[in-house]
């Protein structure tokens, strides 16, 4: 196999050596590979640094009593056999183990790997990530990054083994990362971590032995300068004012240390002289950075400049800015103390906040309420208790207290979980100062583990699945959204989980390469209707998402789409769903082709969203639906056309003409029965409409008959819906709503 990537294997001899080590042994030496230059895949088995085996010592066999010990897979802890011990006597309690989390680094042979392990310690995210640098005689060059979003951790008495599938910035088939770290007690040297790459089918790739480097996931050099007459911020005691976090004294470096980022104070301390009353502009700030930031270079580097200043031309309301948005960006920021110069506790808290916040921008973090403007976008998180939210913009939703006072009362002085994942595990260029432009790549792909992690905290679980994972091009796309309440609490009523109510947001990654934050063409402004749910109550809803208010037809290309949902729970928790994959299949027959042409018309998408309309402005869309029913009645898409046309027939339509006169079209229940009956009958099995839509359609038709006084027919339809739902084991919440 000829490869030029760091994950793939190279020679049989190296493979044999690599295979000789297993999880019961500890690598203690490094196999020096000739520095012949890197391959194109660092996970291929050539860059491996492998070692002879060393048996475990008795110390490694001691029972665990630290954080990792709680995860041990051993069900029974053996009772130690008493044995003679030399003087002095051993400590009566075993020492705790060292944390495995932190940063590790391999030898610079071909490739150098910076490995980050995040499984224990403060706010563990259960992730792995790494950056590869290719090493040649003359240069060290960044090669690529990878991250494992969800890991499995196995802990034995001697080792911690972390396994997961990686996303990489370069193509490779070696995507399974297995990291093995011997366990060591506190006070003993930190063991090395061994990374073994393999393919999903088990073929082994490269192996790296990485020496422990730091408990921090990243290290950044911070240089701080000060405008003349301005006293820079030092620290804030979080006990000074009520807050939502633990009591501690926080500096800027301390706040980042809690996030797993080491801020190295590199001195600086220049005083930047300015005239009295000087107002900074973005241009003058950039100039000052180039003049005073001793480590500034026009290249990516983990180095950042912070200027403590007085005022900006944008006004007294501006507390800080990440001004560096030309050339290689995000290398400098400034804080303005004009309005927060006194030593009051509020001002000290504000100074801490603004400094951490602006430096957060340098790490490529957007405001919690601006995430939808990123590239690619993410749903906004106005309820985030994060350094990156604005206190006055804090809004957890659901009627919970919002605004400045509520923010400070609940704020724990930390980044939110997704931001933490970005800081620790974002691809290098999306994080490093001077890397990607501000906002690009800032939406680190949300890891699968957040679903579990957040659910564990909130007692809620959000899942999504397309009603048809392989639809033909043009088929209306319906997404099933399910909220599960494991623990009793208030959640939104089931119908309000539809994206049109704004509590659930969707992001769609399309095959053409863009990411769309879905915006329903019709948005319902409703007060949150909360219900008490728990005991694993399942609240499902299905939503047609094929047509977007901005881009129109959302699924108009064959190919693979990835969809992710978020839900803002009433208590402010942001749940993120798993990723649903949808593959739109190209037309196979001429009928498929014609149906796709009809249903991908702009007005057809809107007509499907509205479930039909008499409006002359949507005549083209309505005609398309009629044509599908008339000329392609057997096509799988016809059932959706019947649904829209039948639902429209089941309700009256008021048309206002140019003179203001209102013309009413009455219900046509004969036509509604015919169209909706056919749609429902085609969907009683596994094909056609999704089950929830079928129940709702029968219920809607029943209501229409009720409204016309035909209560017998209405009762018959409701009975049909209930019977069908029971036979399909619909969740209790659905059966209950059918009864209502």
Partner 1 sequence: MSRSDAGSGSAGHAAEPGPGALVVELAEGFAGDDVTVLIDGEQMWHRNGVSTNYSVGIADVVRLPMPTKAWPTVEVQVGRRAATRRVDVGETARAADGEGVDVGAEAGSEAPRELRLRARIDPAGTLSLGVASEETRY
Residues that bind partner 1 (CB under 8 A): 282, 313-323, 325, 333, 353-354, 357-358, 361, 366-367, 370, 372-373, 377, 390, 392-393, 403-404, 438-439, 517, 519, 549-550
For the bound state, the minimum distance from the C-beta of residue 279 to partner 1, rounded and expressed in Å, comes to: 11
For the bound state, the minimum distance from the C-beta of residue 682 to partner 1, rounded and expressed in Å, comes to: 35
Closer to partner 1 by Cβ: residue 460 or 517: 517
Closer to partner 1 by Cβ: residue 408 or 700: 408
For the bound state, the minimum distance from the C-beta of residue 471 to partner 1, rounded and expressed in Å, comes to: 26
- Contact (Cβ atoms closer than 8 angstroms) between residue 426 and residue 441: yes
For the bound state, the minimum distance from the C-beta of residue 296 to partner 1, rounded and expressed in Å, comes to: 18
Closer to partner 1 by Cβ: residue 404 or 560: 404
For the bound state, the minimum distance from the C-beta of residue 316 to partner 1, rounded and expressed in Å, comes to: 8
For the bound state, the minimum distance from the C-beta of residue 549 to partner 1, rounded and expressed in Å, comes to: 6
Q: Which helix (H) or strand (E) holds 351?
A: helix 345-362
Q: How far does Cα 427 stand from its chain's mean position?
A: 14
CA dist 477 and 555 (Å) reads 8
For the bound state, the minimum distance from the C-beta of residue 550 to partner 1, rounded and expressed in Å, comes to: 5
Closer to partner 1 by Cβ: residue 388 or 644: 388
The DSSP-derived string for 467-482 is SSSSPBTTSPPEEEEE
Q: For 205-221, give the secondary structure using H, E and C.
A: EEEEEEEEEECCCEEEE
Closer to partner 1 by Cβ: residue 391 or 677: 391
Q: In sequence order, what are the residues at sequence separation of 6 or more whose Cβ sits closer than 8 angstroms to the Cβ of residue 129?
A: 115, 116, 118, 145, 146, 147, 148, 424, 425
For the bound state, the minimum distance from the C-beta of residue 351 to partner 1, rounded and expressed in Å, comes to: 11
Nearest to 644 by CA among 664, 624, 616, 662: 624
For the bound state, the minimum distance from the C-beta of residue 314 to partner 1, rounded and expressed in Å, comes to: 5
H-helix segments, 426-517 = 428-431, 449-458
Q: What are phi and psi of 713, to 5 degrees?
A: -65, -40
Q: Which tokens go with 592?
A: 């498929």
CA dist 472 and 376 (Å) reads 26
Closer to partner 1 by Cβ: residue 164 or 499: 499
Q: In sequence order, what are the residues at sequence separation of 6 or more whose Cβ sits closer than 8 angstroms to the Cβ of residue 465?
A: 479, 480, 482, 580
Closer to partner 1 by Cβ: residue 313 or 536: 313
- Contact (Cβ atoms closer than 8 angstroms) between residue 268 and residue 225: yes
In DSSP terms, which residues pair with 585 in a beta bridge?
A: 472
Q: Which residues of 11-40 are buried (b: 16+ CB within 10 A; e: fewer)?
A: eeebbebbeebebebbbeebbebeeeebbb
Question: Residue written as tokens 């739109």?
Answer: 584
Q: How far does Cα 257 stand from its chain's mean position?
A: 22
- Contact (Cβ atoms closer than 8 angstroms) between residue 657 and residue 666: no
Nearest to 650 by CA among 622, 671, 635, 623: 671
Helix axes 602-609, 590-599, angle to 10 degrees: 70
CA dist 730 and 690 (Å) reads 12
Q: Which tokens go with 577?
A: 């769903």
For the bound state, the minimum distance from the C-beta of residue 122 to partner 1, rounded and expressed in Å, comes to: 25
Closer to partner 1 by Cβ: residue 145 or 389: 389
Q: Which helix (H) or strand (E) holds 423?
A: helix 417-425
CA dist 637 and 494 (Å) reads 27
Q: How many residues are listed for the chain in this entry?
A: 740
**Measured CA distances, 143 to 40, 105, 171, 506, 617 (Å):** 9, 15, 12, 33, 54
**Measured CA distances, 108 to 5, 47, 114, 432 (Å):** 15, 9, 10, 21
Q: Which tokens go with 280?
A: 């900074």
Closer to partner 1 by Cβ: residue 127 or 357: 357
For the bound state, the minimum distance from the C-beta of residue 333 to partner 1, rounded and expressed in Å, comes to: 7
For the bound state, the minimum distance from the C-beta of residue 335 to partner 1, rounded and expressed in Å, comes to: 9
For the bound state, the minimum distance from the C-beta of residue 354 to partner 1, rounded and expressed in Å, comes to: 5
CA dist 554 and 305 (Å) reads 42
For the bound state, the minimum distance from the C-beta of residue 523 to partner 1, rounded and expressed in Å, comes to: 11
Q: How far does Cα 605 stand from its chain's mean position?
A: 29
Closer to partner 1 by Cβ: residue 318 or 328: 318
Q: Which tokens go with 506?
A: 């969707």
Closer to partner 1 by Cβ: residue 285 or 596: 285
For the bound state, the minimum distance from the C-beta of residue 359 to partner 1, rounded and expressed in Å, comes to: 11
The DSSP-derived string for 232-259 is PP--EETTSS--SS---EE-HHHHHHHT
Q: What are phi and psi of 349, to 5 degrees?
A: -65, -40
For the bound state, the minimum distance from the C-beta of residue 578 to partner 1, rounded and expressed in Å, comes to: 24
Closer to partner 1 by Cβ: residue 159 or 370: 370
Closer to partner 1 by Cβ: residue 414 or 668: 414
Closer to partner 1 by Cβ: residue 218 or 361: 361
CA dihedral (634, 640, 643, 648) positive or negative: negative
Closer to partner 1 by Cβ: residue 124 or 521: 521
Q: How far does Cα 360 stand from its chain's mean position?
A: 17
Closer to partner 1 by Cβ: residue 378 or 625: 378
**DSSP state, residue 728:** T
Closer to partner 1 by Cβ: residue 151 or 252: 252
Q: How far does Cα 682 stand from its chain's mean position?
A: 38
Closer to partner 1 by Cβ: residue 293 or 366: 366
For the bound state, the minimum distance from the C-beta of residue 268 to partner 1, rounded and expressed in Å, comes to: 21
For the bound state, the minimum distance from the C-beta of residue 277 to partner 1, rounded and expressed in Å, comes to: 15
């Amino acid at each position: 196999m000829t490869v030029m990537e760091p994950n793939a294997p190279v020679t049989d001899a190296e493979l044999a050596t690599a295979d000789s080590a297993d999880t019961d042994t500890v690598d203690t030496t490094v196999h020096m590979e000739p520095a012949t230059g890197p391959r194109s895949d660092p996970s291929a088995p050539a860059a491996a640094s492998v070692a002879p085996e060393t048996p475990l010592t008795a110390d490694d066999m001691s029972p665990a009593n630290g954080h990792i010990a709680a995860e041990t897979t051993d069900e029974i802890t053996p009772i130690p056999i008493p044995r003679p011990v030399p003087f002095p006597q051993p400590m009566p309690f075993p020492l705790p183990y060292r944390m495995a989390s932190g940063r590790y680094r391999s030898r610079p042979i071909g490739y150098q790997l910076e490995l980050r392990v995040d499984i224990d310690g403060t706010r563990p995210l259960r992730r792995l990530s790494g950056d590869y640098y290719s090493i040649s005689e003359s240069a060290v060059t960044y090669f690529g990054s990878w991250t494992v979003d969800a890991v499995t951790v196995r802990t034995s008495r001697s080792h911690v083994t972390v396994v997961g599938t990686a996303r990489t910035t370069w193509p490779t088939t070696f995507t399974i990362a297995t990291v093995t770290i011997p366990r060591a007690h506190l006070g003993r040297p930190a063991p090395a971590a061994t990374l073994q790459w393999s393919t999903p089918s088990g073929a082994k790739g490269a192996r790296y032995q990485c020496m422990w480097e730091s408990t921090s996931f990243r290290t950044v050099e911070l240089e701080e300068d000060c405008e003349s007459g301005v006293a820079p911020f030092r620290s804030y005691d979080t006990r000074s004012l009520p807050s939502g976090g633990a009591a501690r004294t926080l500096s800027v470096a301390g706040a980042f240390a809690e996030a797993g980022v080491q801020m190295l104070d590199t001195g600086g301390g220049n005083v930047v002289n300015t005239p009295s009353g000087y107002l900074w502009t973005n241009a003058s700030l950039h100039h000052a950075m180039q003049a005073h930031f001793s480590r500034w270079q026009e290249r990516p580097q983990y180095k950042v400049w912070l200027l403590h200043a007085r005022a900006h031309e944008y006004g007294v309301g501006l507390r800080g800015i990440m001004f560096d948005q030309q050339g290689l960006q995000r290398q400098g920021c400034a804080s303005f103390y004009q309005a927060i110069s006194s030593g009051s506790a509020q001002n000290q808290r504000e100074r801490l906040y603004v400094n951490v916040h602006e430096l957060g921008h340098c790490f490529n973090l957007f405001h919690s309420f601006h995430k939808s403007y990123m590239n690619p976008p993410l749903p906004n998180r106005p309820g985030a208790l994060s350094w990156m939210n604005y206190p006055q913009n804090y809004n957890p939703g659901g009627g919970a207290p919002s605004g400045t006072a509520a923010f400070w009362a609940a704020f724990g002085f930390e980044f939110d979980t997704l931001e933490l994942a970005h800081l620790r595990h974002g691809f290098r260029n999306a994080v490093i100062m001077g890397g990607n432009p501000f906002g690009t790549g800032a939406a680190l792909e949300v890891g699968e583990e957040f679903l579990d992690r957040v659910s564990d905290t909130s007692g809620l679980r959000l899942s999504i699945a397309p009603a048809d994972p392989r639809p033909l091009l043009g088929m209306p796309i319906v997404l099933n959204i399910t909220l599960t309440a494991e623990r009793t609490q208030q959640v939104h009523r089931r119908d309000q989980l539809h994206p049109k109510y704004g509590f659930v947001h969707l992001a769609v990654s399309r095959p053409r390469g863009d990411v769309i934050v879905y915006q329903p063409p019709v948005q319902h402004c409703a007060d949150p209707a909360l219900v008490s749910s728990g005991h694993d109550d399942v609240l499902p809803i299905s939503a047609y998402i094929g047509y977007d208010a901005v881009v129109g037809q959302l699924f108009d290309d064959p190919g693979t789409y990835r969809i992710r949902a978020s839900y803002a729970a009433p208590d402010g928790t942001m749940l993120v769903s798993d990723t649903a994959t949808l593959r739109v299949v190209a037309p196979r027959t001429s009928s498929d082709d014609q149906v796709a042409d009809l249903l991908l018309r702009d007005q057809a998408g809107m007509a499907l969203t509205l479930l039909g309309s008499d409006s002359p402005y949507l005549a083209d869309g309505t005609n398309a639906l009629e044509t599908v029913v008339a000329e392609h009645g057997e096509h799988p898409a016809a059932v959706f056309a019947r649904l829209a046309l039948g639902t429209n027939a089941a309700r009256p339509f008021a048309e206002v003409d140019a003179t203001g006169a209102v013309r009413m079209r009455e219900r046509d229940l004969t036509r509604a029965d015919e169209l909706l009956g056919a749609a429902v009958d085609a969907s009683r099995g596994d094909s056609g409409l999704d089950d929830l839509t079928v129940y709702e359609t029968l219920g809607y038709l029943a209501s229409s008959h009720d409204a016309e006084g035909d209560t017998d027919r209405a009762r018959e339809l409701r009975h049909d819906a209930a019977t069908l739902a029971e036979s399909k084991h619909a969740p209790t919440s659905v059966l209950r709503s059918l009864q209502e």
